[in-house]
Structure formats: structure tokens, C-alpha cells
Amino acid sequence: MSDVKPLNWKAEPGIGYTVTRREDGGMNYIFTDLTPATVDHWKKFAEEHLFDADRLTRNLYDLRQVEDFPEEAMRTAIRLNSDPSARKIRLAVLVANDDVANAIRKVAALGDVTFAADIHIYTSLEEAESWLAKPLGEFA
């Protein structure tokens, strides 16, 4: 990708996630925790990227190392992913097992929010990457 948007992510002490640029121009997030400090840092970073979103993109959120999924963290994710700019995002969420996937789906169903991003939850990295690799105009 020739004109990849700058990542502008910086590690900070006590923050439980990292971000790297994907070859396709999207971002790979790897979370190790969802503490309030992590969620706050991620929220600010995500808002900055949503503010000037100018193209379709593919993101992967790897949550397999996260053991505690606070409801407030999930609600923050729901709010961010309902931003109109998020409609340009195809987001694969990778979790450790089906129990976690179902818990996330339950919290998402509680909200009166329609996701603007195209979000799928996976327990297999291969399935997540396969879905992300589909042409951006192809949904489902």
C-alpha cells in the first residue's frame, strides 16, 4: 500500500495492548488486559484514527490473552464501533474460546446500537485472517 496512514501509536507503561500496521494497511491490536488504563488509552487512540478515517481498512483485535472482560470495556468498544466513521472498518475479533465469544455477543446484544463496523468474532486466527482477506466490498 503506497500511502499508508501513519500509525501514531506509542507504548506507555501500564498499557495492556500493542498495535502494529498490517501489510494490507489495517492494524493488528494485541491485548493482554482490559484494565481501565488500557481501555482509556485504546479509546483515545481509536478516536484519533476514526476522526480522519478516509479509506476502507481491515483490523484484527487479538484478545486471546485477556482473562477478564469488564462490561464497561465492551460497552466502550460498542460505542466506538458505532461511530459513523467505523463503517469503513472490517474488524475481526480473535478470542480464546466460544465462551468468551458468546459473552461478548451477549453484551453487544444488550445495547441499542447498530454496529457501523463489519465485525466478526473468531476463535481461530486462520479463519479471522481468511475473512479479513476477502475483498473489502464483500461482506458476510
Establish how many alpha carbons lie within 13 A of residue 85's alpha carbon, considering only the half-sphere containing its beta carbon: 11
Topology given in CATH for the domain delimited by 17-133: Transcription Regulator spoIIAA (3.30.750)
In this prediction, residue 115 carries a pLDDT of 58
Query: What would the pLDDT profile of 114-136 be if each residue is shown by its tens digit?
Result: 656 778 899 999 999 999 999 87
Mean pLDDT of 97-106: 82
Residue with cell 461482506: 139
Could you read off the pLDDT of 44-54 as tens digits, one per residue?
998 887 776 66
The DSSP line for 68-87 is: ---HHHHHHHHHHHTSGGGG
Q: Percentage of the chain surpassing pLDDT 70?
A: 82
pLDDT given at position 84: 73
- Side by side, the strands of the sheet bearing 118-122 are 17-21, 27-31, 57-62, 89-94, 118-122
Beta strand 57-62 pairing with 27-31: parallel
For 21-32, the pLDDT digits (tens) are: 999 889 999 999
